[in-house]
Structure formats: C-alpha cells, structure tokens
Amino acid sequence: MSAGELDLTHIIKRDFELADVDINTYSPLTLAFIGDGVYEIIIRTFLVGKGNKGVNALAKEKNSLVNAGTQSRIAEFLKEYYTEEEADIYRRGKNAKTANHSKNAAYSDYHRATGLEALFGYLYLTDRVERAVELMKIALDNLEEI
C-alpha cells in the first residue's frame, strides 16, 4: 500500500463512520459471516485475474472452490501453516454451534469450512488481509494434492 492509500476495511470504516470494535467480542459465527465474503472475493479476484472468460466458466470455477467440501479440504491442508493464534480462531469457528448447515455438505465439512471462514474474517477485521491471501495462495498452489 502506497502512502496515502487505504485498504478496503479502512475506507468502509471511515466512510460509514464505524467505530472500532474489540475483535474478541465477536462470535466465531460473526467472524465466519464476514470471512465467507473475504474468502469469496479472494477467489473471484484470482479467477478474474487469470484472464477474461465467460461468466458461466468463471462461475463454474468459482463454485468448485467456494463450497464446504473444498473449503474443508483447504482448511485441513493449511493447518500446518497456521500460527498458534490462527489455529485457535480456526478451532473456535470449526467448533461453533450452528442452527443449520449446508444441504450439500457433510456436517464435518461444513464445520471445517466455517472455521476457515472465521479465520479469514478475523484476518480481515484485524487488517491482515495480506495473510489471508498468503494462506489462499499456499492452498491454490497445492490444490492438486488437496
């Protein structure tokens, strides 16, 4: 980020006049709520950045990466790369009690995906999007073995 440039989080907080909130007051499911969007925007940016394609082709690729099964496998693969703090956030998200889960996913996959989303939400809200992108790059670079 160059001098005078703000990241998306700062721009949103500034323009909507949002107060800083203690990240520790957020439930894991709230972190997963925002993390779902962070995960998806990283994937969509990656796919669009690979070149101009039709919307249907992009959607198909996106859907192969943005689903509980794939996110679960990515979360488990990345466990060896998590810091202690990240592992704790992931674990809290994975173990969070939810009222429902995806009809198209196994219960365990859904919970691991929720843990990954919680981690991405946490990283986003603590101004560490670069770390979320770093983890996603590790996953995408190793997708064939995941």
Residue numbers annotated as active site: 36
CA dist 67 and 110 (Å) reads 9
| Residue 71 · residue 117 · CB < 8 Å | yes
Closest CA to 123 of 16, 7, 2, 5: 7
What distance in Å separates the CA atoms of residue 74 and residue 78, rounded to the nearest whole number?
6
Query: CA 8 → CA 1, 5, 93, 139, distances in Å?
Result: 11, 10, 24, 23
Q: How distant is the alpha carbon of residue 43 from its chain centre?
A: 9
